[in-house]
């Protein structure tokens, strides 16, 4: 099936049902764009891995991540957003639209917004999955303030890890950075700041072998890669900053990506392929914040409307 008529066709298909995708769907529905939101998992995306959200405007006491997702989803339903639970496997450009091959069948779209975000790389050690959201986190700006005066461990040695350690030092009693090498990979200026920070200490040539705790993180097991000995240290939280993997493998090779596979867009959230837009964590240079994601979603939908108007194919 290439240029055959699609049984299911929409002006816009949004791929990804996190806060960014849901926001795009709300704006598109209010703009009366014929839209379908496709999400392979439950609504909320990476947001459901968080616990208390304290940096989203309008909630002075914070809001539980699951509650925020439910509110955004309810708002989307109010505007009649159509959703489908399916995994998008391939996006194939055609003459006048795009063919999306999904686990629930083929869908055609005149425009596409990719809001699939990325997946944090995991350590894969015992206790990590069990204590996720209970002291194990992948976002310091999201969860750091929850661990005031706690002993915090940061895993990683790149810019993200150093940034997270510096940020966490504002709240923590002490921050230990665990790095598998004997020197950092981050920018020198960040290294200088971290080395000069009295709250930050480095554990070199080591890895986290396990994370312990009943309902909350209580300790981490550190293994020295040179001596292969292990030790258990008390901990209140573990922040894992070893990188992210973008979820964009289903896109055509003509969509430009950076060296890490994140989608390159302009300020209007347009990609290198006309008709395909992107927003949120999947975008190159993303700040990986809910607020920036929803802002980019807004811009992307406005750009979609301009594109549909320009090609004269927007449905009344």
pLDDT number for residue 316: 42
Q: Is 5 helix (H, G, I), strand (E, B) or coil?
A: coil
- E strands, 134-265, are 136-137, 151-155, 174-178, 200-203, 206-212, 219-224, 230-234, 237-240, 244-246
**Cα(299)–Cα(7) distance, integer angstroms:** 29
Question: Each residue's pLDDT tens digit in the chain (316 positions)?
Answer: 466 678 899 999 999 998 999 999 999 999 999 999 999 876 656 665 555 677 788 999 888 877 888 899 899 999 999 999 999 999 999 988 999 999 999 999 999 999 998 888 899 999 999 999 999 999 887 889 999 999 999 999 988 899 899 999 999 999 999 999 999 987 898 899 999 999 999 999 999 999 999 999 999 999 999 999 999 999 999 999 998 889 999 999 999 999 999 999 999 999 999 999 999 999 999 887 889 999 999 999 999 999 999 988 544 4
DSSP, collapsed to helix, strand or coil, labels residue 173 as coil
Report the alpha-carbon distance of residue 251 to residue 25 in Å, rounded: 20
Q: How far apart are CA 258 and CA 110, in angstroms?
A: 25
Set 143, 224, 258, 281: catalytic member:
143
Domain ranges of the chain: 9-119+244-311, 122-240
What is the per-residue pLDDT for 49?
54
Alpha-carbon span 272 to 263, nearest angstrom: 9
109 forms beta bridges with: 10, 98
The torsion region of residue 242 among left (phi > 0), alpha (psi -120 to 50) and beta comes to alpha
Same fold flag, 9-119+244-311 and 122-240: yes
Cβ neighbours of residue 146 closer than 8 Å, sequence gap 6 or more? 51, 52, 54, 237
Per the annotation, the verdict on 143 as an active-site residue is yes
Which pLDDT does position 64 carry in this prediction?
Answer: 82
DSSP per position, 228-250: --EEEEE-SEEEE-S-EEES-TT
Residue 200 half-sphere exposure, CB side, CA atoms within 13 Å? 25
Task: Output the six-digit token pair for 211.
Answer: 């994370």
Token digits of residue 14: 């949004």
Whole-angstrom CA distances from 172 to 133, 165, 169, 238 are 17, 9, 5, 12
Catalytic residue (one of 34, 115, 142, 163): 142
Output the six-digit token pair for 9.
């066709």
DSSP 215: S
Q: Which of 11, 97, 139, 281 is catalytic?
A: 139
108 classed as catalytic = no
Looking at domain 122-240, its CATH architecture is: 3-Layer(bba) Sandwich (3.50)
- CATH number for the domain formed by residue range(s) 9-119+244-311: 3.50.50.60
Look at residue 310 and give its three-state secondary structure: helix
Query: pLDDT digit string (tens) for 140-150?
Result: 878 899 999 99
Q: Is 6 a catalytic residue?
A: no
Angle, in degrees to the nearest 10, between helices 19-30 and 290-311: 40
- Residue bearing tokens 């989307």: 76
């Amino acid at each position: 099936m290439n240029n055959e008529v699609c049984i299911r066709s929409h002006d816009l298909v949004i791929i990804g049902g996190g806060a960014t995708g849901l926001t795009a769907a709300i704006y598109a529905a209010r703009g009366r764009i014929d839209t379908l939101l496709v999400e392979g998992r439950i609504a909320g995306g990476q947001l459901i891995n968080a616990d208390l959200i304290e940096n989203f405007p309008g909630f002075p006491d914070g809001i539980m991540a699951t509650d925020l997702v439910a509110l955004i989803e309810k708002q989307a339903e109010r505007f009649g957003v159509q959703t489908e639970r399916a995994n998008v496997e391939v996006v194939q450009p055609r003459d006048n639209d795009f063919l999306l091959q999904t686990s629930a069948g083929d869908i055609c779209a005149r425009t596409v917004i990719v809001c699939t975000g990325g997946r944090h790389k995991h350590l894969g050690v015992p206790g990590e999955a069990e204590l996720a959201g209970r002291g194990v986190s992948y976002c310091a700006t999201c969860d750091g303030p929850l661990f005031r005066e706690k002993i915090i461990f940061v895993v990683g040695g790149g810019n993200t890890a150093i940034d997270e350690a510096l940020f966490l030092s504002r709240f923590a009693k002490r921050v230990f950075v665990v790095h598998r090498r004997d020197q950092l990979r981050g920018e020198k200026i960040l290294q200088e700041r971290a080395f000069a920070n009295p709250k930050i200490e480095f554990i070199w040539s080591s890895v986290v072998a396990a994370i312990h705790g009943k309902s909350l993180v209580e300790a981490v097991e550190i293994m020295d890669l040179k001596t292969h000995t292990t030790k258990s240290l008390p901990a209140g939280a573990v922040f894992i900053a070893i990188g992210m993997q973008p979820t964009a493998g289903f896109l055509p090779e003509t969509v430009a990506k950076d060296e890490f596979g994140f989608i390159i867009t302009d300020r209007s959230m347009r990609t290198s392929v006309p008709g395909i837009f992107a927003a949120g964590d999947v975008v190159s240079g993303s700040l990986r914040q809910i607020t920036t994601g929803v802002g980019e979603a807004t811009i992307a939908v406005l750009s979609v409307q301009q594109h549909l108007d320009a090609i004269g194919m927007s449905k009344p």
